[in-house]
Amino acid sequence: MVTNFSRIFKFAVNDFSRNKGISLAAIFVLVVTIMLVTWLFFFHGISKFLISQVQDRIDITAYFKDDAQEQDILGVKEEILKLSPDIKAVEYVSKERAMLAFNEKHKDNAVLAKALEEVGTNPFLPSLNITTNGDPVQFAEVSNVLQTANFSKFIDKVDFSQKKDTIEKVFSITSNINTFGLILGIILVILAILVVFNTIKLAVDSSKDEISTMRIVGATDWFIRGPFIIQGAIYGFIAFVICFLISAVSAYFLSPKISAVLPGFNTFDYFLSNIWILVLIQLAFGAGVGIISSFIVVRKYLDV
């Protein structure tokens, strides 16, 4: 068993090094395919970042009546958190904090300071700043809580109606991007697999007569198939190493340029934080497609 495996491995390495042209072509096609999948992975990261950027800006502000008690407002907050536990943030801003924030923001504006002085009292209302996860369902849940009779009596106004359309639009764009990306990704990956399959088929086709001779001399199916499958794995592994290096280098050098267009998104950080999943995708895709293609093509000749 061990002897057989070492022989199969030796045949694979010999065939690989003796058929340099075919090996290079197969590796090149695999590199292009894996890079395509890697690009889709980065594209997914960028689109997720963009979507979260937009969704972070979707919030609701509920302004309470001047005489609303702090415990009533906190009761509303609790109710919202109970109904939508995955809500991003619910922040209570008291009258005093609102005033302080206003003063801080406009400390250099003498006209506004004077106007506030003329009013005499604190004109700000206590509020809850609610940040949803951008999902219209959650948005509707929050709106419903605020409109129930128990709570609406404390509320002066809710600043959300003018944002409803925007939220629905964002949600529909988000879901369209995801669907489109998924369909495009699947089509590209299928095309890439077909190209790799045909390249490996060409490589194995050149050994068609050799396979038939091996059968005639009584080699077992695995003794014939093994070297081709290991060659497929070698193609995949080398392609993976090349792609991994290209991804790391391009993520590092493109990072400042992409950060200039997408502030807050660092491609190299994204690469590092997803390094294992990327290794898994590239390796599984490269070696997987290489091995499966070889297996299928050789089986065809073994069946004849």
Binding site for another protein (CB under 8 A): 3-4, 7, 14-15, 18-19, 207, 209-210, 212-221, 223
User: Which residues make Cβ contacts (< 8 Å) with residue 16, sequence separation at least 6?
Assistant: 23, 231, 234
Tokens of 80: 């919202």
Question: Which residue reads 């359309």 in tokens?
Answer: 165
Measured from the CB atom, the residue of 25 and 54 that comes closer to another protein is 25
Measured from the CB atom, the residue of 3 and 71 that comes closer to another protein is 3
Contact 278, 41 (CB under 8 A): yes
d(CA 282, CA 167): 36
H-run or E-run covering 154: none
What is each CA distance from 254 to 117, 195, 242, 244, in whole angstroms? 52, 29, 18, 15
- In the bound complex, what is the minimum distance in angstroms from residue 171's beta carbon to another protein? 57
Contact 180, 99 (CB under 8 A): no
d(CA 275, CA 34): 15
- In the bound complex, what is the minimum distance in angstroms from residue 301's beta carbon to another protein? 13
Measured from the CB atom, the residue of 2 and 110 that comes closer to another protein is 2
Measured from the CB atom, the residue of 8 and 37 that comes closer to another protein is 8
Which ranges in the chain belong to alpha helices (H)?
2-18, 20-56, 70-83, 95-105, 110-119, 136-147, 149-152, 164-205, 208-216, 221-261, 267-273, 275-303
Measured from the CB atom, the residue of 258 and 302 that comes closer to another protein is 302
- In the bound complex, what is the minimum distance in angstroms from residue 226's beta carbon to another protein? 12
Contact 199, 261 (CB under 8 A): no
- In the bound complex, what is the minimum distance in angstroms from residue 297's beta carbon to another protein? 16
- In the bound complex, what is the minimum distance in angstroms from residue 216's beta carbon to another protein? 6
- In the bound complex, what is the minimum distance in angstroms from residue 217's beta carbon to another protein? 5
- In the bound complex, what is the minimum distance in angstroms from residue 220's beta carbon to another protein? 6
Measured from the CB atom, the residue of 218 and 264 that comes closer to another protein is 218
Measured from the CB atom, the residue of 128 and 203 that comes closer to another protein is 203
> With the C-alpha atoms ordered 115, 120, 122, 123, is the resulting torsion angle positive or negative?
negative
